[in-house]
Chains A and B, each alone.
Chain A
Amino acid sequence: MHRILSREALAPDVVRFWVDAPPIARKRRPGQFVIVRLGEGGERIPLTIADADPKRGAIALVVQGVGKTTRDLNAMEPGDAIQDVAGPLGLPTKIEPGQRVCCVGGGIGTAVVLPIARAVREAGGHVVSILGARTRDLIILEDDVRAVSHTCVVTTDDGSYGQKGLVTDALREAIAKAPEPFHEVVAIGPLPMMRAVCELTRPLGLRTIVSLNPVMVDGTGMCGGCRVTVGGEQKFVCVDGPEFDGHQVDFGELMARLTAYKEQEAVACARHPVAGPFTPAW
C-alpha cells in the first residue's frame, strides 16, 4: 500500500500528489513512469513520475481527471492509500551535458517536461521553456518551470494569459530568435500538439523528442498493448520508450489506438458516482 502524503489542486481536474514509494523515489530518473492500480477490481494505468524526494521516500504524480480511474484517484485525500504502484518503468530521458534544449509542455504534459528541463539545467545546459494550454486556468507548474529555465514563454489559445496562440507559434519565434541553434526540442503534451511540433521542426532538421502515452496494461514489455510504429518498426512504449524521435513516430496510428476503449470508458464513467460526463482527452 502506498500512502498519499499530500494533495494539491494545480488546475481544474488536475491534482499533484506526493505518494509514499521509497524504492521508486531512490531509483527514478527523469522521463520514467509508474503503473498504478487503486484497489481490488481496479485497472492498471501509467502515470509519469513528475518529481521525487528520495530522502522522504516519496514520488510526485500529477493526475488529470479524464476518466473513471483518474477521477477516483483525484478524489483521494492525504492518508488514503493506493494499493499498487510499480516502477520506475521505461527508459530515462537521455540528457547530454551542456546542451541547448527547448522544452515544450502542453497542458498536463508540463508535469512531464519539468523534471527533464530541470535535469538539462543541472547538466549545465541552456533551457528555453514554452508552456501552453487552452486557457489561463489550465497552465500548471509555471513557477517551477520558470525556476529551472533561462527563458520561459507561456501561451494560451484564447489569449487569457501570456501570449495568445499555440505553442508552435512560440516555438517558431524561439527558434528564430535563438542566438545559437537548439540541440533539440523536447515536446510533451496532447498528441495533436506533439505532432504539430514535429511537423514544424522536421523541415528544419531539429531533433525532437516526444513522450508517448498509449494504452498500457503491465508496463513491463509483456503484452504489447502499448505498441507503436517508430521509423517503420514496431516498438513497445513501456520498455523501448516512452520517449522517441518524434519525426519517426506514426502519430495517426497512435491516435487511433487511443480510441480503442472509448465506448467502454464512457460506460465506466457513466455508472460511477464521482464521475460527470465523459470528455475524452484526445
Chain B
Amino acid sequence: MRSMAKKITQKTKTPMPCVDPAVRSRAFVEVASGYTEEMAVAEANRCILCKNRPCIAGCPVEIDIPKFIQKVAEGDFEGAFQTLTEKNVLPAICGRVCPQEDQCEKLCTLGVKFEPVAIGRLERFVADRAAAFGSQSDSGTSPQPTGHKVAVVGSGPAGLTVAADLAKMGHSVTIFEALHEAGGVLMYGIPEFRLPKEIVQREIHGLERIGVELKVNHVIGRTFTVDDLFEELGYEAVFIGTGAGLPHFPKIPGVNLIGVYSANEYLTRSNLMKAYKFPETDTPIVHGRRVAVIGGGNTAMDAVRTALRLGAEHAYLVYRRTEHEMPARLEEIEHAKEEGVEISFLAAPVGILGDDRKRVCAMRCIRMELGEPDASGRRSPVPQPGSEFEIDVDVVVFAVGQGANPLIRSTTPDLHVNKWGNICADAATGATEKKGVFAGGDIVTGGATVISAMGAGRRAARAIDVYLRNPLPDGV
C-alpha cells in the first residue's frame, strides 16, 4: 500500500479556470471553464488513497470516488468515466451543482489539514471529456427485460435517477413530464451560466439510449391521474418526483405589481424559455435597471446573477440574516460578489411601491437584528422598529422558498401528505401508504439539493425493484 506514505506536495486545490467577471456578468456563458487534462491529473494526484475512504459515505449515490480519481491520476479517463457512471447517471450535472463542501469533500481526509481533493471538479472533467470523445457508459447495456412497467412522474434529478436505475435492472420505464422539456429544475431553474442546458439534454438523451421512454407535456393530475397510470395504462408501480414547485409570496402590499416575480417565473422565463434571447425567441421578461432579489439561497443567487446578465445596472440581494446564515453555496456567493451583486444583509421588504401604471418603482425595507436561536438553531431575525428605508427598484424577485404543488395530491385522495402538502414516504425506500406508489426528492422533503433528490431516487429504485419482483398482496 502506498496510502498515507504519499507525500503531500500541493496543499490547495488546483484552481478552476473561470471566465473574467467583467465579461461573464453580461453574458450567459458558463462561469467555470473546467479542468484541462494536466490540471485534472495534477489534482487527482493530490488524493492520498486513504484506507477509510470517508468521501464515499458523503456521496448520496455512493460513487467509488478513490477508484475513479486513481484512474484520472493514471490518465485512464475512459476507465474513470466507466467507474463514475456505474453509480451516477448524471455526472456532468452533479460535478457542477452538488454542494461538495457539505458532502464528499467535507469528509475528505486531506481536508483535515489542507484543502480537500476537488472531487466535484474531477467528476465534471471526466464526464465532459467522455462527452467530447463520444464515450458511452457500459453499465446500461441491454439487461434482461423483466416485463415490468414503471411510470415515473417528473423528470427532475429524482425521476431521472429512478428511471435510469430501473431501466438498468431491465424494467420498462416511462417518464411523464409536465413541461415541454425534461430535466425539471436542471432546465428551468439552474441558469445556463452554472449548468449549460446542452449538457442536461445530453445526459437525458443517455437515458433514452438505455430504453427510458420520455413523454413531455403530460401533466399528471390532469392529463392522467395517478390511478389512471395503474388502471388505464397498466403500470405496476409509480414513482412521484414532482419537486417543490409552488412559489411563496410574502403577504406584503404590492406583490402583484408588474415587475414582481417569483424566482421560479423569473428563472423559467430566462432559462427554459430563453427570454434573454428575446425577440429572437418569443417569451418576454421585464428588464429592470435596478433589480432586487429577496432571499439567501442558491435560487436567490441564480436569480440575482441572471438579473445582471439581463442588463441590470444594479442587482441587489436583500437577505434578512447575515452572510454567516446564508444557505447558498460559498462559491456562488463569491461569484456573485465578483460580478458586482450588491448585498444588503439584515434587511427584509415590508412593501413594494408602484407607479400609476402599476409597475414597480421602489421597495420599502426594514432593518433586522439577530435574536435568540430558534428551534432549528438559527438566530431569528427581529425587525427593528423605526428603521424602515426605501430603495429604488423596477423589478423584485422573491426567492423565499417553495411549497408542494397541489395537482397530484388533490387528484389522488388516498395519498398521505403532511401539513405542508409534502407526500409522506418512507425515507429508506420512498414507499408511500398507497400500494405501488413511491415518492422522493423535494416533493417529500421540501426544497433540498439535486444530489439528495438523486439519492432518494436511487433508494426508491431499489425498493421498486424488490416490490415488482415480490408484490405485496392486496390489503397489505
- Chain A residues within 8 Å of B, Cβ to Cβ: 23-24, 27, 37, 41-44, 68-69, 83-89, 217-218, 220-225, 227-229, 234, 239, 253, 256-257, 259-261, 264-265, 267-268, 271
Contacts and interface: CB of A to CB of B under 8 A. Distances in A.
Interface string B153-176: 000000000000000000000000
Interface in B254-269: 255-256, 258-259, 261-262, 264-265, 268-269
B216 interface: yes
A43 B274 CA distance: 9
A256 B258 contact: yes
Contact of B281 (A27, A41, A88, A261): A41
A273 to B, nearest CB: 13
B247 interface: yes
Contacts of B131: none
B222 A87 contact: yes
A44 B72 CA distance: 44
B178 A220 contact: yes
A223 B224 contact: no
A259 B357 contact: yes
Contacts of A41: 274, 277, 280-282
B219 A227 contact: no
Contact of A229 (B224, B256, B273, B284): B256
Contacts of B209: none
A150 to B, nearest CB: 33
B264 A86 contact: no
Given A69-B282, A217-B265, A221-B407, A234 B245 contact: no
Given A84-B216, A88-B222, A221 B258 contact: no
The SS class assigned to the A binding surface is mixed
Nearest to B243: A222
A268 B279 contact: yes
Contacts of B180: 37, 44, 83-84, 86
Contacts of A267: 279
A201 B231 CA distance: 45
B370 interface: no
A223 B280 contact: no
Contact of B282 (A68, A83, A239, A256): A68
Nearest to A229: B256
Contact of A218 (B249, B268, B281, B284): B268
Given A27-B223, A84-B217, A44 B247 contact: no
B246 interface: yes
Contacts of A42: 281-282
Contact of B223 (A88, A224, A239, A271): A88
13 contacts: A23-B223, A85-B217, A86-B223, A87-B222, A217-B265, A220-B407, A221-B245, A223-B247, A224-B262, A228-B256, A229-B256, A257-B258, A268-B284
Interface residues of B, number: 40
Given A69-B282, A221-B406, A271-B279, 6 more contacts: A220-B405, A222-B268, A224-B265, A256-B258, A257-B256, A260-B286
A196 B300 CA distance: 41
A222 B222 contact: no
Nearest to A267: B279
Nearest to B179: A218
Nearest to A265: B284
A267 B256 CA distance: 25
B389 interface: no
B427 to A, nearest CB: 25
B10 interface: no
Contacts of B259: 260
B178 A218 contact: yes
Interface of B: 178-180, 216-219, 222-224, 245-247, 249, 255-256, 258-259, 261-262, 264-265, 268-269, 273-274, 277-284, 286, 357-358, 405-407
Nearest to B256: A253
A86 B265 contact: no
A217 B333 CA distance: 29
Contacts of A217: 265, 268-269, 273, 283
Given A84-B217, A217-B273, A223 B264 contact: yes
Nearest to A38: B282
Contact of B279 (A89, A239, A264): A264
Contacts of A222: 245-247, 264, 268, 405
A44 B273 contact: yes
Contacts of A221: 245-246, 405-407
A89 B411 CA distance: 13
Contacts of B224: 23, 27
Contact of B249 (A234, A239, A253, A260): A234
A43 to B, nearest CB: 4
Contacts of A256: 258, 357-358
Nearest to A264: B284
Q: Top 6 A-B pairs ranked by shortest CB distance?
A: A223-B265, A264-B284, A256-B358, A43-B282, A86-B217, A222-B245
Contacts of A69: 282
A267 B269 CA distance: 17
Nearest to B251: A234
B193 to A, nearest CB: 20
Contacts of A220: 178-179, 219, 222, 245, 405, 407
Nearest to B246: A221
Contacts of A87: 219, 222-223
A103 to B, nearest CB: 25
A259 B257 CA distance: 11
Contacts of B279: 264, 267-268, 271
Contacts of A227: 249, 256
A230 B222 CA distance: 24
Contact of B273 (A43, A224, A234, A259): A43
Contacts of A265: 284
A51 B222 CA distance: 17
Given A43-B273, A86-B223, A224-B264, A257 B246 contact: no
Contacts of A257: 256, 258, 358
A234 B282 contact: no
B423 to A, nearest CB: 16
Contacts of B264: 222-224
A250 to B, nearest CB: 8
Contacts of B249: 224, 227, 234
A2 to B, nearest CB: 9
B139 to A, nearest CB: 32
Of B178, B264, B282, B286, chain A has the most CB atoms within 10 Å of the CB of: B282
